């Protein structure tokens, strides 16, 4: 904790703003009298010269063109300290550093509540860190499986052949003509027909999702529940967003069924993970009429996984399905 306090003092000292420039030293005055080029753009100085001071320290930096000084930006780094102090709560650390909870603001100290680091994150102590553990990078792994449903059937149960192992956090399912999928020049492989689906459900370890099977009737123009999965399964059902697929288009080539399989419906969020679950996934589908053509069931699934890199730059993954 004492070391952490010292680090904070150093950070504050180096990053605190000083509103007024410090007085020029004799060395600074000599530097000014001998200056004939701009220290920023390194071209000859003219009448438009400017004494440039560091806003953070107040110290004199050099003589520059006024326009150069106004546009000059020194790349700065935001220090981030990762600690592993056992049994220390974050609130206790804040109090120990003489900060009140309500006075701690984001860096930089402005009204922004979100910060995006678009450049890079540099770990100064990377070799030492990697000597004791691995660098872990969370990813969303995508996997696609294709299952064939033959012509002449009116229903199909795809049992324990979708995913046996890690349960996906999201599934999106559609049906496409088999010859189109296999490369027919006269058919579109991206046309997902409804094929008269009258019942559809997923089973995770025997638990039905949704709790009541989807029961659309495309002949009677009743398929709102199926259409709604495009919103609930992709995390936009409570947002002011769309997917550019109208209700009329859905039944005519855009019939996709999306399911968020996380317990808190957070598959679309990157802010947190749920516990990884292992089990089996089963699919049951029934049609109004017997299929007159062979079709393919396309299953797109997303999984939470981790890529690890050790000190020797060996890469390992935790794929378990």
Q: How far, in Å, CA of 168 to CA of 260, rounded?
A: 9
Q: What is the mean pLDDT of the chain?
A: 79
Structure tokens at 21: 């420039």
> Is the pLDDT reported for residue 62 higher than 90?
no
CB 199 within 8 A of CB 288: no
Domain borders along the chain are 1-122, 137-309
Band of pLDDT at residue 179, cut at 50, 70 and 90: very high
E-strand stretches of 95-166: 135-149, 155-158, 164-166
Band of pLDDT at residue 201, cut at 50, 70 and 90: very high
Top pLDDT among 84 and 129 is at 129
Q: Terminus-to-terminus CA distance in the chain, angstroms?
A: 43
Q: Which helix (H) or strand (E) holds 63?
A: strand 60-65
Surface-to-core class of residue 98, CB atoms within 10 Å of its CB (0-12 exposed, 13-18 middle, 19+ buried): exposed
Band of pLDDT at residue 266, cut at 50, 70 and 90: confident
For residues 247-266, average pLDDT: 91
Residues ≥6 apart with Cβ < 8 Å to 33: none
For residues 69-81, average pLDDT: 61
pLDDT score, position 197? 94
For every residue of 271-302, DSSP letters joined together read S--PPP-EEEEEEEEEESS--SS-EEEEEEEE
Quickly tell me which residue has 């004939």 as its tokens: 36
SS3 for 191?
coil
Chosen CATH of 137-309 out of 2.60.120.260, 2.70.9.10, 3.30.420.10, 3.40.50.10490: 2.70.9.10
Q: Please give the model's pTM, rounded to 2 decimal places.
A: 0.61
Q: How far, in Å, CA of 244 to CA of 228, rounded?
A: 13
Surface-to-core class of residue 8, CB atoms within 10 Å of its CB (0-12 exposed, 13-18 middle, 19+ buried): middle
> Is the pLDDT reported for residue 226 higher than 90?
yes
User: CA dist 78 to 11, 52, 81, 114, Å?
Assistant: 9, 23, 10, 15
Band of pLDDT at residue 81, cut at 50, 70 and 90: low
> Is the pLDDT reported for residue 290 higher than 70?
yes
Q: How far, in Å, CA of 52 to CA of 33, rounded?
A: 14
> Is the pLDDT reported for residue 86 higher than 60?
no
CB 197 within 8 A of CB 286: yes
């Amino acid at each position: 904790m004492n070391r952490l306090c010292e680090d904070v003092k150093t950070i504050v000292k180096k990053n605190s703003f000083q509103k007024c420039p410090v007085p020029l030293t004799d060395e600074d005055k000599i530097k000014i009298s001998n200056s004939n080029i701009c220290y920023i753009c390194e071209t000859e100085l003219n009448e438009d010269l400017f004494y440039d001071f560091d806003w953070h320290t107040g110290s004199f930096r050099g003589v520059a063109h006024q326009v150069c000084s106004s546009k000059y930006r020194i790349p700065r780094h935001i220090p981030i300290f990762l600690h592993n102090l056992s049994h220390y709560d974050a609130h206790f650390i804040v109090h120990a550093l003489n900060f009140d909870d309500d006075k701690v603001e984001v860096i930089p100290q402005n009204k922004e509540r979100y910060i995006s680091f678009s450049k890079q994150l540099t770990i100064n102590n990377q070799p030492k860190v990697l000597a004791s553990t691995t660098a872990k990078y969370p990813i969303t792994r995508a996997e696609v499986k294709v299952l064939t449903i033959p012509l002449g059937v009116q229903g199909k149960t795809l049992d324990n052949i979708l995913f046996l192992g890690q349960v996906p956090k999201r599934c999106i399912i559609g049906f496409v003509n088999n010859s189109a999928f296999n490369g027919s020049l006269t058919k579109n492989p991206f046309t997902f027909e409804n094929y008269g689906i009258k019942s559809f459900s997923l089973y995770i370890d025997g638990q039905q999702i949704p709790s009541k099977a989807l029961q659309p009737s495309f002949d009677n123009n009743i398929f709102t529940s199926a259409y709604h999965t495009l919103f609930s399964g992709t995390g936009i059902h409570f947002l002011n967003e769309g997917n550019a697929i109208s209700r009329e288009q859905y039944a005519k080539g855009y019939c996709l069924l999306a399911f968020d399989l996380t317990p808190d419906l957070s598959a679309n969020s990157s802010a947190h993970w749920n516990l990884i679950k292992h089990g089996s996934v089963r699919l049951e589908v029934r049609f109004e009429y017997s299929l007159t053509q062979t079709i393919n069931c396309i299953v797109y699934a997303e999984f939470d996984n981790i890529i690890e890199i050790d000190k020797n730059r060996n890469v390992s993954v935790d794929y378990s399905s």
